[in-house]
A and B are shown apart, each in its own frame.
Chain A
């Protein structure tokens, strides 16, 4: 079945550092890909998405590009802030659209 694998965490960075969180997937067909963010004590929120190969999703300074050849959807941000500290989840939606499959989540801590 479909699956999503994220880089192991936790990740700790200093403010203004460059962030990459790796995500690779296994799927049949052509899934849509997503990044969700969970701030402390809250539910998950959609951060960005890409629905086809070579699409780039972006939001709040975060970007991720749908790479079909490497089955990847890595999350990047050029300069992180303390307020970006959260858990980040990569996810895919099957072509049938019936469910989201989430990765394990990556805890990011940004220190001032």
Chain B
């Protein structure tokens, strides 16, 4: 069983469209994250949820809206897509406890905006 699974793996869409990426983890973790990886492989945190509560919200446009229906799921909805949104988006989860530092990543969702 995949520990952290994301769908879809690939997404190609036009500018101005709205799209969602779903993430589920079966590890029983309380904390989940969304990271954005650009074409140069730079990885930047976008959001973090702990037990369905938003705890990290970096400087991300309002067009990006995370939703956590339960602690095993964290979905990312993007409105009015722009060319600059093209990237690989990674979902991750982590076990409880300070300084464990171990994130479990999904395989990523490659978003291409045309």
Contacts and interface: CB of A to CB of B under 8 A. Distances in A.
Nearest to B103: A100
A41 interface: yes
Contacts, number: 58
Interface secondary structure of B, over-half rule: loop
A32 B101 contact: yes
B105 A102 contact: no
Nearest to B41: A105
Nearest to B31: A98
B66 interface: no
A5 interface: no
Contacts of A91: 101
- Range of interface residues on B (Cβ < 8 Å): 20 to 34
Nearest to B50: A98
Interface residues of A, number: 26
A102 B43 contact: yes
A107 B41 contact: yes
Closest CB pairs A-B (n = 5): A43-B105, A97-B98, A105-B41, A93-B101, A32-B99
Interface of B: 4, 40-45, 48, 55-56, 90, 92, 97-103, 105-108
Interface of A: 32, 34, 36, 38, 41-46, 49, 51, 87, 89, 91, 93, 95-100, 102, 104-105, 107
